[in-house]
Amino acid sequence: MDEYAQDRRQAINLLKNLRARLHDENAWSKGFFALTANGTCVRPTDPTAARWCLETAFQLEWAKLASCSTKPFVHRASRTLAVMIHQRGFGSLIAFNDDEKTTFYDVRAVIDDAILELHGVRNALVFGRVAAIIMSVFAIPAMIIAPNLWTALACVGVSAVYWVTDRLHNRYLVK
């Protein structure tokens, strides 16, 4: 495996570890770097910490890689995550995480998008879902007006596009 592919794989693994750390809403913190399970503010490295903001969770994950902070894959994962945040109109992970409109699901979507971007399939998934929506806009009225084999095939096509994009999404996001 060449160095570029290994770098990309390690960046993906780092982001998957981040995703695993922020596994549900009870593992995510908003407005604090780290909290205990009962909501007490603690240092991020405190053994009782159970909830972290996006920035802190990312830092803890790359810190586990012992002295890898200057490795290209850490920069690649960080850069990709920053691009996903910037595309949503924010200048930093903290600004995004602590924005009043940001939810846990927004945070997970950013991480997922970064993983898919590194896999090189993010744009294909977006295009596939848009294509399925456009197909359904035309197929459903056609089926009502003139049901026939072609409209049935169009509906099967919509279902197939959704199925394929969901399988790709799940394939690349499973740890």
Residue scoring higher pLDDT (109 or 69): 109
Q: Write the pLDDT tens digit of every residue in 100-126.
A: 999 999 999 999 889 888 877 666 666
Whether residue 74 has pLDDT greater than 70? yes
Kindly tell me the sign of the dihedral angle through the C-alpha atoms of 69, 71, 66, 78. positive
Global model pTM greater than 0.95: no
* Amino acid in position 122: R
Q: Could you tell me where the DSSP H helices lie in 22-148?
A: 54-63, 72-87, 93-98, 104-119, 122-145
Report residue 59 as tokens. 């830092």
Main-chain phi, psi angles of 101, to 5 degrees: -90, -10
Main-chain phi, psi angles of 49, to 5 degrees: -65, 130
Give residue 152's pLDDT.
61
Whether residue 68 has pLDDT greater than 60? no
d(CA 35, CA 28): 9
Query: Nearest-5° angle of CA 21, CA 26, CA 31?
Result: 90
Q: Where are the domains of the chain?
A: 1-119, 121-175
d(CA 14, CA 73): 8
Report residue 105 as tokens. 């699901």
Residue scoring higher pLDDT (45 or 129): 45
